[in-house]
Amino acid sequence: MKTCIPLILATALLCPLATLAAEDAAKQKEYFERHKAERLKHIKARQDLLSQESSCLQSASSVDAMKACDEKTKAAHQAMEEQHKKDRMQKMQEQESKRRAEYDQKMKEMQTSAGKK
């Protein structure tokens, strides 16, 4: 009987931890899938840019045409990098807004619970 009580207490304490671990695993999987999709999108964009550069160079018939291809590719690459920077900044701002909202919510809950006491 004495050994049953600690076992029951341990089980009661570990069940919520298992639930938290499952939620955390689900969040990690969601983050992984989102991150993977973003990386694949950027790789595809770079592949498309290289393909366009390749076809431009293959159709070039002079040095001037090759230079035009290089300039066109450079401009496209810079635009792609700028868009990537904007995407990262937007993502960071969204994360900050989410953290701030969670913090505000916790503070309200703490104030509410302190007011009830």
Confidence of residue 112 (pLDDT cuts 50, 70, 90): confident
- Choice among 9-18, 40-49, 56-65, 71-80 with the minimum mean pLDDT: 9-18
Q: Are 71 and 60 in contact (CB under 8 A)?
A: no
> Is this model's pTM higher than 0.75 or not?
no
Q: Where do the H-state alpha helices sit in 1-117?
A: 4-59, 63-116
Burial 28-50 (b: 16+ CB within 10 A, else e): eeeeeeeeeeeeeeeeeeeeeee
46 Cβ contact partners less than 8 Å away, ≥ 6 residues apart:
80
Task: Give tens-digit pLDDT for 70-104.
Answer: 999 999 999 999 998 998 899 999 999 999 999 99
